[in-house]
Amino acid sequence: MASFRRRSKRAGTPFDCVSPNALRWLRKRITAGLGDTGEGGLENIFISRSKASVRRVINENALMDFLAPLGFKSYCLEDLGFNDQVKLFSKAKVVVGPHGSGLTNIVWAGDGASVIELLPENRLHPDYFQLSMALGHRYAAVICKGANEKGDMTVDLAEFKRCLNDVNQEAR
């Protein structure tokens, strides 16, 4: 069985980064049992938390107005079963989403995918940065203004556009 975290040898740090070999082993094992997981076109995915009770994007409609013409589709992951999530993310080219468990699905994305995490200014955690680095994904974060105590956020669209342009430039 694969181990996802290793004990750190650095004082004061309980764990080192996620094991890339363990993640690739997991991706291979899970996707092998699903049949066709996406030999077709690549997907630009926006993870919507509109049905969640926390960390929602207040200006999600405005963000999707910008993203839709670029080929992004919005998904509420609670509407998809596990196999469908694996299949969807195995075709991911670019994944955009607020900090939350839905971003764990980047494990299924192939090498070279890009991840843009929307982080509320009061919740700056390195989880998905570490996961992205372990998997060889390009990663960027947009720090968003918090709207309330639930971590709901407003995305600065100008900052997001700059971030997406940087990610696209790096992908070339």
Q: Is 87 helix (H, G, I), strand (E, B) or coil?
A: helix
- Hunting for tokens 């070279």 — which residue is that? 112
From first to last of the 172 residues of the chain, give the pLDDT tens digit: 344 444 455 555 545 567 888 899 999 999 888 876 545 568 999 999 999 999 899 999 999 999 999 999 999 999 999 999 999 999 999 999 999 999 999 999 988 899 999 999 887 888 999 999 999 999 999 999 987 888 899 999 999 999 999 998 887 7
Domain ranges of the chain: 18-33+42-171
The pLDDT score that the predictor gives to residue 112 is 87
- Alpha-carbon distance of 108 to 26, in angstroms, equals 9
- Hunting for tokens 């938390």 — which residue is that? 49
> Domain 18-33+42-171 - what CATH class?
alpha beta
Axis crossing angle, helix 60-67 with helix 157-171, rounded to the nearest 10: 40
The pLDDT score that the predictor gives to residue 37 is 52
- What confidence tens digit (pLDDT) does each residue in 126-151 have? 899 999 999 999 999 999 998 788 88
